[in-house]
Structure 1
Amino acid sequence: MFRFSIVTLGGEYRLIRKFSTKKSYYHCVGEEPLSCLTLGQLSELTSKRYGDRLAVISCHQNKRLTFRDILDEADRLAAGFHKLGFKRGDRIGLWAPNLTEWYVSFIALARGGYVSVPMNPYYQGFEVELLIRKVGMRGLICGDIFRKQNFYDILTKFSPEIINSNPRKIYCEKVPSLRNIIVMTEEQKMGTFRYSDVLNMADECSISYINKNQDKIECDNVCNIQFTSGTTDNPKAPCQTHFNVVNNGYYTGKRIELNKKHHTICLQNPLFHVFGTVATVCSSINHGSTIVLPSDGYDPEKNLTAITKEKCTVVYGTPTMYVDLINQQRKRNEKLHLEIAVSGGAPCSPKIFEDLLEVLKVTKVKSIYGLTETTAAVFSSTENDNRERSINTVGKLQEHIEAKVINSDGYLVPVGVAGELCIRGYSTMLGYYGDEKKTNEIIDENQWLRTGDQVILTKDGYANIVGRIKDMIIRGGENIYPKEIEDFLITHPDILEVQVVGVPHERLGEEVCAFIKTKNNRTITTSDIFEFSKGKLSNFKIPSKVKIVNHFPTTTSGKVQKYKIVVVFMKNKVVP
């Protein structure tokens, strides 16, 4: 009887596997257990292990901080926050460009048990006011001057009461939750504290308090509210726990191979975005990697200079950023030491991947895919992926994550068929802050999170991103995925970058329109595109309208905002 039971169960298991492999479902079982650590505890462990190693190099500030420097300054800053009266769980905004102070503040907030709320440094008064109110920020750490931005002026325009307020307890009528503002400057500004003032508030007793309280901060506590970048809608506020960011940082870094050796990473992305916050900072803390900040904001020339000067071995960026970096290298032909290029934030065309290998001379190109709602990456390239997989997929599902692909009725599609990607696992956000309705729209009762992305999932857990469901063009009843057309058109010798969108058409519902950035300002017509595409794309996929542009509207993190392209079309009525 006992032997029969084993045989029966084994047969049932094989039968289950036989049926399940026909459907688009995959579970990547972890080789290592997840870690029950807070970000503050992880920072302390990293300081002990890699204390003298550089954690961050800020080229534009001419500053270099080791992991020990980061922890020491973070504890002093956290102690200063405690002296100001911040309580565990208080939401504190982090509104600044790429500076060492940003990195230190992010760790300080975790060490103090506070919740960091990274904000886009390009935000204007209305946007800042909206986000402060949305999550009830008690404090705000902000930059000084960033390009055309004067952070203090922006604040005092929508809340002039700040100027006459006591900095220990300001009152702003429009944002009544806000009590303290800390500015990263040495200039004294009325109603605020300087960053250095808060550091100097720390004493031996308050620093000891921070250290002793690390065990009282739970790994399941929220440590970060990471606003979505708002490519299709107003920003929402996903809540991420210490458990989310520590573990996602570890497994993302492992896939990038940061665990194999000491790597120096050039970060082209902004720190405030999940690509910078989790995929870069948290990964680097997990694996002792050095982050290089070439500039306070995006600058392709300075990015290449930093890569060369600091002998970076890894570079992070979005596809748009890589287009610029490749063009810079073609002009300058610098001697590079790059080994790995990591692309995320948006689907990357095979042409750009080929250029990364040939022009930047990297030995590996890796993709990562994820959402703010999944903390950061959930798919990424593996160590042994071949060229085809590196170029044509966003990698394999990461450890401890489940994925499935469903149709519009919610049923699993067969392997190899496109549908909506759903994710379940440790990295799923707790929910949108203060918005149960939106949370329930994206996470179902079985904890599956709907990504909104059209994906083809292979039987061994690799994903090919077809496009956003909202971006899909329906032309005369035919479903058209813009990415397929973009990947083809980018192979045209005169096209530098291309975005394909659906625009209104009276008879067909939508028609295909290509917005194109050309090399050396060359002219490309609709007829040129038709001749180039004829016999290679189905006729209904060939763009019927073409518009030459100088740039694309993007978020600060480098994602192209397609809905804005459509708005431009509607205003200007593109001519075929």
Structure 2
Amino acid sequence: MFCAMRTRVLVRRNEIKCFREKSRLSYLHNVGSEPLRPLTFGKLLEDTVSKHGDKYAVISRHQNKKLSYSDVLTQSDKLAAGLISMGLKPGDRVGLWAQNIAEWYISFLACTRAGFQSVAVNPAYQPKELEYCINKVGVKSIICGEKYRDQTCYGILEQVCQELPKCEPGKLNSKKLPTLKSVVTTSGESLRGTYNFEEVLGLADPASISSIKKNQDTIKIDDPINIQLTSGTTGNPKAAAVSHFSLVNNGFYIGRRNELDRKHHRICVQVPLFHAFGTAITISAGINYGATLVLPCEGYSPNKSLDAIKDENCSIIHGTPTMYVDLVRVQKERKEKIAAEIAVSGGAPCSPSLFKDMLTVLGVNKVKSVFGLSETTAVVFQSQSEDDEYKSTSTVGYLQEHLEAKIIDANNQIVPVGTPGELCIRGYCNMLGYYKDEAKTKETIEASGWLRTGDQFVLEETGYGRIVGRLKEMIIRGGENVFPKEIEDFLNTHPHILETHVIGLPHERLGEEICACIRVQEGCVVTLADLNVFCKGNISHFKIPSVLITVETFPKTLSGKIQKFKLKELALNNNNKAG
């Protein structure tokens, strides 16, 4: 009997060993140590107010506004009640078209409390872009800011909707925008055909506000809460709809990895609120833990960000790599005494050299990566609290709780650990789908639940991930697969280069050749010959750029993503090639 038991144990051990050998494939399931939270966003806000009601939720420096969590709940319910009195109903899409202002934050939360779907609209949109996005998802009401840069939001809307100045507020009937019925503006002026933000707050009465509170049980956790219009770096945006459940929980785990559970933090918000970085990584995570969001300015200014970090004692900074490049430069010039502890970077790959500058120049204790996409609510891989320098600077972190990840080849087979392939994600965070676009949804989310990200990715033995690049951005030079990020990371170590982005250009013999687009330090010049000397002996010959473009600024979306198609257009009009 003992021998039989011993035999079974040995067989079991051999089975486990065999399974471990087989499991050296690029597949990972992070089960999580606690259950997901079955909350709507409106109930999450109520829970936070009960714990942190007297703490500031948002400090908008440029508006000189400070709102506690109790204030935020009160104003959100008033706005929700006011919007319903204008004729909006649960399920309606409400466009939020403004820069980083307190009204955006309140409007977003009002939509969650009323059961509307907020639609995050880029304030940089021009008339045709705005028209496309409103019609794409059938926006019924739009809440817009006063201006963006040198143009007014009302002026842009008027170009698309000529009926606006002639209609009564709430009774818009537009040929080009058939679903849009009302416009709410944060402008201090009375604009024809629109409601004023304060006016809508005034439409609420005790009974309508009470109905908002009572109706929280009618909103379901799987209802859509937010539609993210993808950045449109290569064409018209798609509309990714995410649920209350995914946004609440993504924010919960993001916040915990970013150590919001350890103390009360003030977060310097450099990123736009309308982007997934703003809605999930910043707003949702902040509300989950009662953190304070500090808005330095309406748009983005490294000097104003540094002012906010110093004056408001911000302990955490949120930004894209481009923002950190600028912030590091400004801090080198100003040498301010700041006490930020953590820098969170996302929205685009970040080079190890920049990460080290963030540690040394900004003086933070930790640099954390967040990686994901709008279609996964926001984050799927993220730094952990005790990561070493390599994990912090060379990976995008470890898979988030309750998610599965696999890396596949062109034949949909899982590749061995350490081998590049396409990253696929399965779990609670995946979008409900692209709004009214079943075909695109099926292309992205398989029947088995796996979402194809389109990202070229490597899963390491440790379970940490590395971005290689976008599948569409991979360069094939003379039969060699070249991933732009590897070259970008190396060129960013050049003492005179601030930022690099690499693209492929058509080549008659090789198929594609490598073009480096660089931004250099003020007063410095880097030539193609300089670059060749710097690269020789450090990276393979076929990875050395044969085209060099120097730019003062990179074309990018407001959310910080580089528009490489525009760089390619620029490069094709230049002939700065090696002889």
Same fold (TM over 0.5): yes
| C-alpha distance after superposition, 1:321-371 (max 9, x if no partner) | 000000000000000111000000011000000001110010000000000
Aligned residue identity for 1:456: V
Please tell me whether the aligned partners of residues 93 and 116 of structure 1 are also in contact (alpha carbons under 8 angstroms).
yes
Q: Mark the CA change 1:512 to 1:165 in structure 2 (over 3 Å): closer, same or farther.
A: same
Name 2:523's counterpart in structure 1. 521
Q: Is the 8 Å Cα contact of residues 186 and 196 (structure 1) preserved in structure 2?
A: no
Shift of 1:16: 6.1
Q: Distance in 1 between matches of 2:407 and 2:367?
A: 26
Q: Report the equivalent of 2:506.
A: 504
Residues 414/157 of structure 1: CA separation in 2 closer, same or farther (3 Å cut): same
Q: Which residue of 1 aligns with 2:231?
A: 229
Distance 2:577 2:477 in 1: 19
Report what 1:304 is aligned to.
Answer: 306
What TM-score, normalized by structure 2, do the two folds share? 0.97
The 3-state SS of whatever aligns with 1:93 is: strand
Q: Measure the CA separation in 2 of the matches of 1:374 and 1:508.
A: 37
- One-letter identity of the residue aligned with 1:496: L
Question: Match of 1:239?
Answer: 241
* Residue among 367, 370, 380 paired with 1:368: 370
2:343/2:364 contact within 8 Å kept: yes
CA drift at 1:280: 0.3
After TM superposition, the structure 1 = structure 2 runs for residues 166-565 of structure 1, keeping only pairs within 5 Å, are: 166-565=168-567
Cα–Cα, structure 1 residues 167 and 358, in superposed 2: closer, same or farther, change >3 Å? same
TM-score with structure 1 length normalisation?
Answer: 0.98
Measure, in 2, the Cα distance between the counterparts of 1:5 and 1:50: 59
In structure 2, how many angstroms separate the alpha carbons of the residues matched to 1:68 and 1:495? 47
Structure 2 CA distance for aligned equivalents of residues 212 and 230 of structure 1: 39
Report the CA distance between 1:460 and its aligned residue. Answer: 3.0
Q: Deviations over 1:513-570 (max 9, x none)?
A: 1111111232211111111111111111111111211111011011111111001112
Large movers: runs of 4+ above 6 Å: 1-6
Is the alpha carbon distance of 1:189 and 1:404 closer, same or farther for their aligned partners in structure 2, counting shifts above 3 Å?
Answer: same
Q: Quick check: 2:549–2:571 contact (8 Å CA) kept in 1?
A: no
Q: Quick check: 1:340–1:363 contact (8 Å CA) kept in 2?
A: yes
User: What SS does the aligned partner of 1:261 have?
Assistant: coil
**How far apart are 1:6 and its partner, in Å?**
8.6
- The residue that corresponds to 1:22 in the other structure is 24
- The alpha carbon displacement at 1:320 in A equals 0.5
- CA shift in 2, pair 1:16/1:248, >3 Å: farther
CA contact (8 A) 2:44 2:288 kept: yes
Looking at structure 2, the residues matched to 203 and 526 of structure 1 have their Cα atoms a distance apart, in angstroms, of: 67
Alignment of 1:128-167 (within 5 A): 128-167=130-169
State the shift of 1:446 in Å: 0.8
Deviation of 1:500 (Å): 1.0
- Tell me by how many angstroms 1:145 deviates: 1.9
Give the AA of the match of 1:177.
T
Instruction: Name the SS for the 1:455 alignment partner.
Output: strand
**In structure 2, the residue corresponding to 1:383 is in which secondary structure?**
coil
Structure 2: gaps spanning 5 or more residues? none
**Cα deviation per residue 1:216-266 (whole Å; 9 max; x = unaligned)?**
000000010111111223210001000010000000111101111101000
Mapping for residues 93-132 of structure 1, pairs under 5 Å: 93-132=95-134
Q: Describe the superposition over 1:55-107 as per-residue Cα deviations: whole angstroms up to 9, x where unpaired.
A: 00111001100001000000000000111111110001000000000000000
Alignment identity in percent?
52
SS where residue 160 of structure 1 aligns? coil
Listed as ranges, the gaps of 5+ residues in structure 1 are: none
**Stretch of structure 1 that moved more, 240-249 or 546-555:** 546-555
Closer, same or farther in 2 for the Cα pair 1:8/1:213, shift >3 Å? farther
Aligned length: 576
On the 8 A contact 1:28/1:461 being kept in 2, the answer is no
Give yes or no for contact 2:546–2:577 (8 Å, CA) kept in 1: no
Equivalent position SS for 1:322: helix
